[in-house]
Amino acid sequence: MKKNAFIAVSLAAVISLTPAFTTNVFADVNTDIENQDKKISDLENQKSDLESQLATLQSQLDDSQEKAKTLQAEYDQTNKELKQLNDDIEKINERIKEREEVLKDRARAMQKTSNSNAYLDIILNAESITDLVGRVSAVNQLMDSDQQILEDQQNDEKALQEKQASVKQKQADQQKAIQDYEAEQGKIEAQKAQKEAVVTKLAADQAAAENEKSELVAQRDQEAKAAAEKAAQLEEATSTTTAQASTESSSSSSNASSSSSSNSSATTNNSSSSNNSIPASSGSAYDKMMSTATAQLGKPYSLGASGPNAFDCSGFTSYSFAAAGISLPRTAAGQYAASQKISESQAKPGDLVFFNYGSGIAHVGIYVGGGSMINAQDNGVKYDNIHGAGWGEYLVGFGRVANF
């Protein structure tokens, strides 16, 4: 009896100390939870700031799209002017030929009559002073007419040269505007891609922090439940015999072992389910991409166009790779930023090749091997030598976006 009383008193003392111990443990866990809350809040603020910057960049992209429409309209107008110029050239050439024939006829006529002194005959054969004045006037008018023909010939040729020079300059200005637009779009897309990557990482960090917080809350709740159960068991033990206390202790151990076994089984299942295999790529993706690209040969260039009737450079590459299920950024600079940089000796068909006209990545094509690429440029979709005139001096390098 005394022994049981001693046990009861000891257990009561343990019960009285349990709340203080539990409070200290909970205080540590709660501090960790508060730290996670602060971390989550900081990550959310950073993500919010970046999303605001992304919204600004998107607005800039929208403005660039409006600029693209204007540039395309100007480009189309230039093409119309070129067509009209070609028509004018054809008409001027016809007039030039007609005048040449008239002058040739006049020259032949004068050659035939040069030995007979035709001009003197016209004067001597005049029947009167009035007739003489008329004859001289007619000869002078004929000579003036020939002179006017020569002047018209020279004026038309000069006008033709000036028109050709004007249109060529306009073409050069238009080409520069298109290149500047591509570079501007590329820079914005590159900034946007970088910030989107940071937002993605922040979101992942936030998710990890929230998951860690959830684990801490679960730990705290589990410890609180275990402490409550333990206190209840100890309280009950004060009114029972030592044998009953021993039985309850054995039961608790059995439950803990069962819980541990269950947790181990769940861990094994989770490990098994996460061991997923990644399917290997095959050559069919490359075939789909290249067959789509070559099917566009001859289609016209149009700034900002992504097919299927017309393309700009990055619209063409995006359209071709999409056929193989591969999504690319919309601009040449964006595709450059997203690609794995490789040397020309490492390049193989299906890689991308990039060019810089002086203000950033502004052109992209699909490398087909042998120093050639298929690309959408001013003359439409066609093959070009990457080291040829107009290309080699602007070549930046190669990028890989798919392991075909």
| Annotated active-site residue in 79, 93, 270, 375 | 375
Q: What pLDDT does 216 receive?
A: 86
CATH architecture of 285-400: Alpha-Beta Complex (3.90)
The helix (H) or strand (E) run that includes residue 365 is strand 361-369
Residue-wise DSSP of 175-223: HHHHHHHHHHHHHHHHHHHHHHHHHHHHHHHHHHHHHHHHHHHHHHHHH
Planar angle of CA 77, 83, 88, nearest 5 degrees:
125
Number of neighbours of residue 357 by Cβ within 10 angstroms = 17
- Cβ 320 vs Cβ 366: under 8 Å: yes
Q: What pLDDT does 370 receive?
A: 95
| Annotated active-site residue in 30, 93, 276, 363 | 363
Tokens 């690319």 belong to residue:
328
Q: What pLDDT does 317 receive?
A: 98
Q: Which CATH class is domain 1-260?
A: mainly alpha
- Cβ 119 vs Cβ 139: under 8 Å: yes
Q: What pLDDT does 112 receive?
A: 61
Residue 242 in tokens: 């030592």
Q: What pLDDT does 143 receive?
A: 64
Question: Between the CA of residue 272 and those of 16, 258, 282, 360, what are the distances in Å?
Answer: 45, 21, 27, 48
Determine whether 155 is an active site residue. Answer: no
Q: What pLDDT does 7 receive?
A: 43
Determine whether 313 is an active site residue. Answer: yes
**Please, which residues have CB within 8 angstroms of residue 30's CB and are 6 or more apart in sequence?**
220
Q: How far is CA 85 from the centre of its chain?
A: 36
pLDDT truncated to tens, each residue of the chain (404 aa)? 444 444 444 444 444 544 544 555 567 788 888 888 888 988 989 988 888 898 898 888 788 778 777 877 887 888 788 788 777 777 777 877 777 777 677 666 665 655 445 555 666 666 666 765 666 666 666 666 667 777 777 787 788 788 878 888 888 888 888 888 788 878 888 888 888 888 888 888 888 888 888 888 888 888 888 777 777 766 655 554 444 444 444 444 444 344 433 333 333 333 333 333 323 234 789 999 999 999 999 999 999 999 999 999 999 999 999 999 999 999 999 999 999 999 999 999 999 999 999 889 999 999 999 999 999 999 999 999 999 999 999 999 999 999 88
Q: What pLDDT does 193 receive?
A: 83
Which residues of the chain does CATH 3.90.1720.10 include? 285-400
360 CB burial (10 A radius; 0-12, 13-18, 19+): buried
Determine whether 24 is an active site residue. Answer: no
Q: What pLDDT does 374 receive?
A: 98
Residue-wise DSSP of 107-128: HHHHHHHGGGTHHHHHHHT-SS
Which residues of the chain does CATH 1.10.287.2610 include? 1-260
Phi, psi of 402 (to 5 degrees): -155, 140
- Cβ 349 vs Cβ 368: under 8 Å: yes
N-to-C CA span, the chain: 85
